[in-house]
Structure formats: structure tokens, C-alpha cells
Amino acid sequence: MLKIENLHAEIDGKPILKGISLAVPSGEVHAIMGPNGSGKSTLSYVLSGRDGYTVTAGTATFNGIDLLAMEPEERAAAGLFLAFQYPVELPGVGNANFLRTALNAQRRLRGESELDAVQFLKLARAELKKLSMSDEMLKRNVNVGFSGGEKKRNEVLQMAILRPKLALLDETDSGLDIDALKIVADGVNALRGPDFSALVITHYQRLLDHIVPDKVHVLAGGRIVRSGGPELALKLEAEGYAGVLEQAA
Amino acid sequence: MSASTETVETVNALAESGYKWGFETHIDMDLAPKGLNEDIIRLISARKEEPEWMLEWRLKAFALWQTMTEPTWAKVGYPRIDYQDIHYYAAPKKKAGPKSLEEVDPELLATYEKLGIPLKERAILAGVEGADQPSQIAVDAVFDSVSVATTFKETLHKAGVIFCPISEAIRDYPDLVKQYLGSVVPQGDNYFAALNCAVFTDGSFVYIPKGVRCPMELSTYFRINARNTGQFERTLIIAEAGAYVSYLEGCTAPQRDENQLHAAVVELVAMEDAQIKYSTVQNWYPGDENGKGGIYNFVTKRGACRGARSKISWTQVETGSAITWKYPSCVLEGDDSVGEFYSVAVTNNRQQADTGTKMIHVGARTKSTIVSKGISAGHSNNTYRGLVRITPRAKGARNFTQCDSLLIGDQCGAHTVPYIESRNPSARVEHEATTSKIDEDQLFYCRQRGLSEEDAVGLIVNGFCKDVLKELPMEFAVEAQKLLAVSLEGSVG
């Protein structure tokens, strides 16, 4: 389970997260919604260990391990996966090579045996099939020349192959048409199970039609201002953030 | 023939040193006194048991060199070289080598692996007798001033291919050597080439007869061993009409706190429809992080596409040397001949590289392609300098140049200096250049997926160089990839 307590973080001395407390038990999917600038992306970066964010107070643990004390790659090996809002292009780096290198790096850190090229290809092809994606995806360079939708699908493919225990989806739905949205949702839903939890960060309710969350939290001004069941997302959609925030205030 | 045990010991010492400062090796050497004069040249020529014409050729070059001045136009800075403070001849004294791979220290083999030499070649280089049997690559190994091992002579001989130390070729094939030596890079071509002509001690000679496709990759491995010694190797490759050869060159040197001079000359001649593919992985000692020590690499490499439809490709991965001054070039004389230059140059710490190519279009419809990838890290300086010259006769000539620079950190420099001279209006010359940085986003993305920072840099750099690496022969490409990662260790963070 992911447990965040009183988390404060700042960038260049500017406080962004101002005391977030949140628990996502294993097997649950929680959604975090909130207006622009509320700290949604910062939360995902702080949890995954990006440079430039200073944690000034609070803790974040995953299955009892102190996340904040680990390097980003160690967090990845511990099972944390961040689906990026803006996936990064790596010119000249083949997707298959990238994924196998990443998977084997994680396996090495966990003390597991590495997969050879044949074993990896078998695994990757099986996952591609489940996601209705073409094998071509593996041959292309990481995100280079991908459309917005293709980039997000590639994130989902990576997630399927790396099999995280905790997925952070940072506005993975932004810029997606309805078909791509369904593929992303199917990818997340396929991983759902007692040992998987996810934090779905989104601006809109529509993704949550496809990934039905166990809980919804509203983030505003660096704090969780309201929590509830899936119906809270519908309420936000109907009344807008302003209405809900007013009630919370 | 086996390499000497001194070789094994020296490389061993290199492994033990862990690339740390101040390691010392003691080898039993046959060493000429320091300094350069006619007597030294006579001594070299005598040691090599050369014919009189060769000595005359050297003395003529020496006379030319004395009238020349060291070039200063490159973007490299170094203290004045005292040419009288260098040994111009050094040869290890031979003893019996180890009998099998098992007798060689595993750490030594691991070192070769890290340096980027395929295993079977490593066995040869470690001096294991008979280790050449299963290999698919014929190797000529040059330590300091002499060639210590050439493998596969028999197999090649059956195909009519001559692959031997150039010192041997001068004795055994004087007519061929006389005809081609200096025909591409003349004695007075430039300061360093003239010096090489005067004092070169060994190198490889390759002759592929008409219509023969060389049955295996040919490879020469150069190593500077002795202290205060210059290495001046000379390579001459001739491909007769319709012949094909792929040639690999690897170089390393142990680390020392003083600089060492390396001034090589490579000449390639391709006749009608012939093809020469020349690949280099240059890993001379680059000096330490403060710029102390390292090899001064002043090299003249040039190929002449003499015949119609001939083709010469230079592929180089340059990771070593304190200073690199090197412009592998093609003179496209034959109509429809093709010149290619694919280069990756990596500089880290205080390294300085000024490298590029010259494509001289003489024949009609000649074509050249230049792909240069420069990677700078630390406090290094990396310059691409290239000339594309279209002469009036070169009707319909075409050139495409792509120069990309990748910066790691904010203390390094990347420079692109293209010279284009077109004297034929029907020619087409294209030049593209980009400069980019490995950014935080890319590093974080890789690390979030589980890669360490260094693995991430390695992956991104290899991606950046892919267009060049894919031109290398398979096993060389794999080793070059590893070498890139080793060269950039510690460059981030």
C-alpha cells in the first residue's frame, strides 16, 4: 500500500505540496483530480524521485519502504511506474532495446535473472497482442515521431511489460481520442488485482468512466480538500471545481 | 608466431592499474637513442633490413620535414613538442608466449573486453600460441615500432591476398610498395605526414588482387607501449579492379603522465569497381581528468578512388587521445566513384578533438556522404572540420553532410567548421547540422524505467550515434557501444 503523510514539497523555494495525506491500499485504484496548478504533477514527480523537488516535511512509503530515500531507478525496481503526461523522445533508441534494458535493469536490482532477447520478444509480443497494438511499436525509436495518442499507448505498453505494483498515471488521458482512451483504460484495468494499486491523476471525469476508481480525491492548493467515492468525480464534472472547492472551504 | 610475454605483462599491468594514476611497466626493450637526425633514420632502416631505395625515400622526407612548420590552424592547444626528446625506434625483445587462453590472467582478458577487442583477437594479442585457429578475423598486431603477430597468412595467401607488416612488404614486394607508397599521401603532404615518412617503423600492408573479395575481415591492432616513444605506423591498402576488403583498426596505449606522440599515415588505393571499407576504433589513452598525459594523435588518412565506380568508406569511433588531429579523406578521381565518412568522436575531461574529412570530387558524378557525430562532455572541446571540394571536371557531383553535436554538461564545447568549394554549377552539396544536449527529461524518463544514470547516458549516446555504429562490422559495433559508455563514465552528475 502507498501511504503518504503530511507531505510538503517545494520547487526553487516555492511550496507546491502543503501537507498531503493519502493512503492507497493494495488492490485499489484512486483518482486524483484538481484544477491546473494544484500540484498534481508535482505529486507524481515527488513520488517517483525527479530532481529539482525538495521534500520539506512528511513521508511517503510503499509497502513500508521509504520511497523518498531511494533513487528513481530503485523506486522503479520496487514496483513504481510513472506514466508521463509528456512522454520523452529518445532518438535512435529502439523501443524494444529500451524496454528490455529497463526490464533487465529492474530485474537486476531485484536480484532476478535477466531475460535474453528471445524471452523478451515473446513477452513483449504477448503484451502487444493483449493491447491490440502492432509489433511495429517495438521497432520504432522511443516516442520519436509518435502522435500524442501513440505516445500514451507506448506508456501503457511499457507499463504492461514492466508490470508495476504501483502505477502513477499523470494525465495519461490528455490529448487522447476515445479509442486511445479505451486502450489506455484497458491496459490499466488488465493490471488490476490484489497486488496492484494505481493513482490516476486526471483533469476530467471521462477517463474514470473506463477506469472506475475506488476513491476520488480532490487536490487544490497543494492539499487534498475532499475525498469520496466515484460519485465525487461525477459531481465535479457537473458542478466544476469552483463549486466543489467552495463547499470544501 | 606469438606475441611476446612482455606484451602480456604490460597489458596485465594496465588491468591492475584500474586506469589509476602512476602505473609503471618495465619491459626489456631494444630502444634507439632519443632524437631525430639522419643517423637515426639510417638506424631504423638498418634495423628493418630495408633496401637502399627505401632509405633514400625516408631521407628525402626528412629533408622536406626540416623545411616545414607544425600546423596551427586546428582548434587544439598543447605545449610545444620537442621532437628531439622522443625515441623513434622501440621494439620488445621476444620470449615464448603462454600456450593457451587459460594461462592468461582473466583480468587481462576482461581488460581487452573493456577496451573493445573481440575475444579471439584478445587471445592473439595476449600472445597465446595457436589461438588464431577458430577466428574469422585476421589480425596484425603492432606494438611500438614492430609488428608482433600476423595471423591467417596461409588462408589469405590461397586467396591471393597479401596481408603482412609493411616492413616485410618492403622486403618481399618492393615493386608494389614502390608503386603505391606515397602515391596518395606524398612525402611533403603535411608536417606530420612528412615526419611519418621519415621515421615510420611498421604498420600493415594489404594487397587484394583483381576481382578478389577478401575472405575475412582484416584487422590491425596498434599499441604504444614504451615510454617517451613515438609511434609512427604506416598502412597501405591496395584494392585492384573489382576487389573488396573490409579492414579494422584498433588502438590502445597504457596510461602515462607524459604525452606521447602518434603520427600515422594510412593510404588507400581503390581501382575500378573496387571497394575498401576502413573502420577504426581509436582508444588511445586520453589523459586524466585534469588533462595530464595522453596521446597526441596526428594522423593523415587518405584514400584514392582511382578507378571508375570505386568506393572508399571510412568509419571511425574516436574515444581516446588527449589531442586528435585527423581527417580521413577521399580523393574521388574515377567517374561515379563514392566516398563515405562516418564518424563518432567522443571527448571527455580535457580532451581536444579536431576531426573531420575531406571529400575531393574530381571525376564526373562522384558522390560523397559525411555523417559526423560529436559528443562532448567534461571540459573537452570537439570540433568537426570538413572540406567538400568540387573541381570543375566533377560534373553532376553530389555531397550530403550531416553534422550532429551532443553536449553533456555545460563546460564543454562543440564546433562545426565546414568548408565547401564548388567549381561546377551542376554539383549539389547539402549540409545539415544540429546541436543538442542530453536533457534532464530524457535522463529522468530512463531512470524512472529502472536504468541507472550512467546506463541512461550510454543508451542515449548510442542512440545518437546509431547512424554511424551501424556502419561498423557487427562485432566491432558491439564493442564500440561498450567503449562509448566507458569513455563517458562519470560525465554526468
Which residues have C-beta within 8 Å of that of residue B37, sequence separation ≥ 6? none
- The larger pLDDT score, comparing residue B22 to residue A14, is at A14
Residue B459 with chain A: CB contacts under 8 Å:
90, 93, 97-98, 101
SS3 B225: coil
- List A169's β-bridge partners, or say none: A83, A200
Looking at every residue in chain A, the average pLDDT score rounds to: 91
A53 at interface of B, judged by CB pairs closer than 8 A: no
Name the closest residue on chain A to residue B436, using Cα atoms.
Answer: A91
Each residue's pLDDT tens digit, B231-265:
788 999 999 999 999 998 876 555 556 677 889 99
Which of B440, B445, B449 is closest, CB to CB, to A51? B440
Residue of higher predicted confidence among A147 and A69:
A69
CA angle B70, B71, B77 (to 5 degrees): 95
Q: Could you tell me which residue, B439 or A51, shows the higher pLDDT?
A: A51
The pLDDT of residue B28 is 54
Put simply, the chain A residues between 57 and 76 with a CB less than 8 A from any chain B CB are 71-73, 75-76
Pairing of strands A53-62, A2-11: antiparallel
CB contact (8 A) between residue B455 and residue A101: yes
Whole-angstrom distance between the N-terminal and C-terminal Cα of chain A?
29
Q: What is the mean pLDDT of residues B421-446?
A: 92
The region of weakest confidence among A123-127, A242-246, B188-192, B439-443 is A242-246
What is the Rg, in whole angstroms, of the alpha carbon atoms belonging to chain A? 18
A81: which chain B residues are within 8 Å (Cβ-Cβ)? 448
CB contact under 8 A, B448 and A141: no
Residues of chain A in contact with residue B452, where contact means CB-CB under 8 angstroms, are 73, 105
Chain A nearest-CA distance from B41, in A, is 49
Out of B450, B460, B464, the one facing A106 most closely (by C-beta) is B450
Interatomic CA distance for residues B348 and B343, integer angstroms: 16
> pLDDT, tens digit, for every residue of B19-66?
322 233 344 567 778 888 999 999 989 888 899 999 999 999 999 999
Size of interface A-B (CB pairs under 8 A): 76
Separation in Å, CA of B341 to nearest CA in chain A: 19
Contact B396, B368 (CB under 8 A): no
3-class DSSP state for residue B381?
strand
Give the pLDDT of residue B146: 52
Options 3.40.109.10, 3.40.50.300, 3.30.390.10, 3.40.605.10; CATH for A2-248 is 3.40.50.300
Q: At A9, is the pLDDT very low, low, confident or very high (cuts 50, 70, 90)?
A: very high
- A45-59, A231-245, B57-71, B174-188: segment of lowest average pLDDT: A231-245
Q: B239 with B212: CB under 8 angstroms?
A: no
Residue that is written with C-alpha cell 602518434 in the block: B262
Judge residue B186's burial from the number of C-beta atoms within 10 Å of its C-beta, 0-12 exposed, 13-18 middle, 19 or more buried: middle
Task: Specify the amino acid at residue B380.
Answer: S
Q: Residue B26: what pLDDT?
A: 42
Q: What is the reported pLDDT for B1?
A: 28
Q: Taking a C-beta distance cutoff of 8 angstroms, is the pair A4, A39 a contact?
A: no
Query: Residue with C-alpha cell 517545494?
Result: A10
Helix axes A117-130, A148-162, angle to 10 degrees: 120
| Domain residue extents for chain B | 5-487
Q: What is the structure's pLDDT at A110?
A: 92
In Å, how far is B230's CA from the nearest CA of chain A? 39
User: Considering only CB atoms, which chain B residues are within 8 Å of A98?
Assistant: 446, 449, 459
8 Å CB contact of B460 and A93: yes
- The rounded distance, in Å, linking the Cα atoms of A105 and A162 is 11
User: CB contact, 8 Å: A11 with chain B?
Assistant: no
Q: Which grid cell sits at B255?
A: 596510461
pLDDT band at B462 (very low <50, low <70, confident <90, very high): confident
Q: Contacts of residue B465 in chain A, CB cutoff 8 Å?
A: 92
Residue B7 has pLDDT above 70, yes or no: no
What is the pLDDT, as a whole number, of residue A244?
74
CB within 8 Å of B180: residues ≥ 6 apart = B236, B238, B267, B269
Starting at the edge strand found earlier in the chain, the sheet holding B398-407 runs B146-150, B137-143, B217-223, B244-252, B275-283, B311-318, B338-347, B367-376, B398-407, B428-437
Question: Which chain A positions have a beta carbon within 8 Å of B460's beta carbon?
Answer: 90, 93
Q: Mutate one of A41, A80, A98, A140 to test the B interface: name it (highest B CB count within 10 A).
A: A98
Q: Which of the pair, A193 or A132, is modelled with greater confidence?
A: A193
Tell me the average pLDDT across A40-51: 94
pLDDT for position B8: 38
pLDDT, averaged across chain B:
80
Contact B459 A158 (CB under 8 A): no
CA–CA separation, B405 and B374 (whole Å): 5
Q: pLDDT over 90 for what percent of chain B?
A: 42
Choose between B200 and B284: higher pLDDT: B200
The 3-state DSSP class for residue B135 equals coil
Q: What is the pLDDT of residue B151?
A: 58
Task: List pLDDT tens digits, range B139-182.
Answer: 655 554 455 445 567 778 889 999 888 988 999 999 999 999 99
Q: What is the DSSP string of chain A?
A: -EEEEEEEEEETTEEEEEEEEEEE-TT-EEEEE--TTSSHHHHHHHHHT-TTEEEEEEEEEETTEEGGGS-HHHHHHTTEEEE-SSPPP-TT-BHHHHHHHHHHHHHHHTTPPPP-HHHHHHHHHHHHHHTT--THHHHSBTTTT--HHHHHHHHHHHHHHH--SEEEEESTTTT--HHHHHHHHHHHHHH-STT-EEEEEES-SHHHHHS--SEEEEEETTEEEEEE-THHHHHHHHHHHHHHHHHH-
At B470-493, the pLDDT tens digits run 888 776 777 777 777 777 766 665
The whole-number pLDDT of residue B492 equals: 62
| The residue type at A99 | L
Q: Percent of chain B scored above 70 by pLDDT?
A: 77
- Nearest CA to B362 out of B388, B331, B398, B400 is that of B331
Residue B85 to residue B120: CA distance in whole angstroms: 37
Q: Worst-scoring range by mean pLDDT, A100-109, B266-275, B278-287, B318-327?
A: B278-287
- pTM score above 0.90: no
Question: Per residue in B66-102, pLDDT tens?
Answer: 999 998 888 888 888 888 888 888 765 544 444 444 4
What is the rounded average pLDDT of the residues B432-438?
87
- Report whether B309 contacts B332 (CB < 8 A): no
User: Cα B484 vs. chain centroid, distance in angstroms?
Assistant: 16
Domain boundaries, chain A: 2-248
